[in-house]
Amino acid sequence: MAPMAKGFGFDPRKAVRHLRAADPALGEIIARVGPFALELKHSRSLFRALAEAIVYQQLSNKAAATIYGRVEALYPRTRDGFMPRHILTTPDEQLRGCGLSRAKVLAVQDLARRVHAGELPTLEEAHALEDAALVERLVQVRGIGRWSAEMFLMFRLGRPDVLPLDDYSLRKAYAKAFNKRSLPSPRALERHGEKWRPYRTVASWYLWRVLEQPAATVMPRRA
């Protein structure tokens, strides 16, 4: 399958070649990890993608999937899944009964109101927006911070140049990969990441893979 067929707006092979040339230390990690294999999550709509993101926050995948399934089960007659109008006409108690916290109920309701009012772009419109502009729109939603917006760009839209500076796992992976004694500050990570442009998403994916490997197999010889 050709890389572009996976839904990315860029060629992952070209991205990997660029990263190996721009950062030899990262290139060693790439060589150990192997081919770029990020798989995009299918999204029916921006509303459904963000609603799922809200539900999954601070929960294990198994627990979140159970709760999200219960929300979906509230609307058995919908052909394409629940829509903003369904959430807006559902009593709080029913949503809470699915396992949603009070904060998440408020967040999903705010998302539904904003989508229903046309304050947020459609999924098709989101694809046409620049990263910064889209993040600015998304973080207006209650419960959607910059990290959640960046995960949407990376794992739903397949944007090539996202570097989630506030992601703890990424900072931990950077420290492990480059043999640092402490976690880098977001600013330090941002400075190092300049050499990874315009493929910082790909660099981030490779760094996350470092956490899955024994330390002795991932330490580069030079930082």
Q: Is 161 a catalytic residue?
A: no
Tokens matching residue 34: 């192997």
**Which is catalytic among the residues 23, 110, 166, 167?**
167
Per-residue burial over 148-175, b if 16 or more Cβ lie within 10 Å, else e, is bbbbbbbbbbbbbbbbbbebeebbbbbb
Question: Which one-letter amino acid corresponds to residue 140?
Answer: Q
Q: Are 204 and 163 in contact (CB under 8 A)?
A: yes
Q: Are 180 and 192 in contact (CB under 8 A)?
A: no
Q: Are 163 and 132 in contact (CB under 8 A)?
A: no
DSSP count for the chain of H helices, then E strands: 13, 0
**Active site residue ranges:** 167
